Amino acid sequence: MKRVLVTGAYGQLGLALQGAVKDSNLDLIFKDKNALDITNAEEVNKVFATQSFDVCINAAAYTNVDGAESNKELAYKINSTAVETLAKACKQHRCWLVHISTDYVFDGTLDGPYTPSDTPNPLNVYGASKLAGEQAIRAVGGTYSVVRTSWLYSQYGNNFYTKLQAQLDAGKTLQVTADQKGCPTPAEDLAAHLLTGIANQQLVKGISHYCGSEVMTWLDLARRLFPNQEVLEWGGTSSPPVRPNKVVLKHNNS
């Protein structure tokens, strides 16, 4: 049975992986920031030196897109420098690194779906820091899978779905923008994709894309998630210049 280290245990994907573990024949070891701070190279090296892992799923990330603009150093520390540390540890200990990246590495100007071979051009600090993490992994080498995804949502943590649910619980009417398009992805689906791909050794090595198969706006998604609620289109714009208006990933969900 493969031993799989999962960082970011209490983030959205980490929690989705915990929910999916019962259906897996993998031995998953979950570590949150308190158990393993990936920005601390000494901690990372100690964990890998004292424990044996076949795979490491890096589900830890700085994901606050707007916050990254004013916290550039922290975004790069978590999304790039720490990723390089993990990549080096994985290579040294012959561990397969599975790293989650984002559609924000693209600028949204392509007329059609982005493939893994398309040239990235991030518009914001978040996207640039995630791209730097990808580049660090490639530079280090070893066995790795970088999985880009988009618009991740679930019942876990702080995301589009839970924010809207909180608004409903507070008695507010939902007002959602329709000025961006993408491919929403349930975190549970991504978790299942990763665990199945690892178990059967079919997760793509190198860079791949995994996302929902439908292109829609945030307004479309809100109405899909809350079909019995009134969801109004917000008349303003929620897209600062650093946010691409449309990024569609060519998904390989089989």
Residue 114 lies in a domain: yes
Give the CATH number of the domain where residue 16 resides: 3.40.50.720
Residue 238 lies in a domain: no
Give the model confidence (pLDDT) of 130-184 as tens digits: 999 999 999 999 999 999 999 999 999 889 999 999 999 999 989 998 888 999 9
Residue 192 lies in a domain: yes
Residue 170 lies in a domain: no
Residue 249 lies in a domain: no
Provide the pLDDT confidence category of residue 237 given band limits of 50, 70 and 90: low
Give the model confidence (pLDDT) of 204-213 as tens digits: 999 999 999 9
Whether 126 is catalytic: yes
Provide the pLDDT confidence category of residue 223 given band limits of 50, 70 and 90: very high
Residue 189 lies in a domain: yes
208 φ/ψ angles, rounded to the nearest 5 degrees:
-140, 170
User: What's the pTM value of the predicted model, to 2 decimals?
Assistant: 0.93
Contact yes or no for 181/248 (Cβ under 8 A): yes
Cα four-point dihedral sign 124, 127, 133, 137:
negative
Domain, as residue range, for 83: 3-159+183-209
Q: 3-class DSSP state for residue 161?
A: helix
Residue 171 lies in a domain: no
Q: 3-class DSSP state for residue 57?
A: strand
Contact yes or no for 254/200 (Cβ under 8 A): no
Which tokens in the block code for residue 173? 């009417």
Residue 106 DSSP label: S
204 has which bridge partners? Answer: none
Q: Which of 137, 140, 138 is nearest to 79 (CA)?
A: 137
Question: Considering the chain, what percentage of its residues have pLDDT values greater than 90?
Answer: 82
Provide the pLDDT confidence category of residue 232 given band limits of 50, 70 and 90: confident
More confident residue, 246 or 153: 153
Could you tell me which residues come within 8 angstroms of residue 180 by beta carbon, excluding any fewer than 6 positions away?
217, 218, 238, 239, 243, 244, 245, 246
| Number of domains composing the chain | 1
Helix axes 125-140, 82-92, angle to 10 degrees: 20
pLDDT at 240 over 70: no
Catalytic residue among 76, 104, 114, 126: 126
Could you tell me which residues come within 8 angstroms of residue 73 by beta carbon, excluding any fewer than 6 positions away?
none
Residue 233 lies in a domain: no
Q: 3-class DSSP state for residue 44?
A: helix
Query: In whole angstroms, what is the distance from residue 25 CA to residue 5 CA?
Result: 14
Longest CA pairwise span in the chain (Å): 55
Q: Which residues of 206-240 are buried (b: 16+ CB within 10 A; e: fewer)?
A: ebbbbbbeebbbbbbbbbebbeeeebeeeeeeeee
Query: In whole angstroms, what is the distance from residue 102 CA to residue 63 CA?
Result: 10
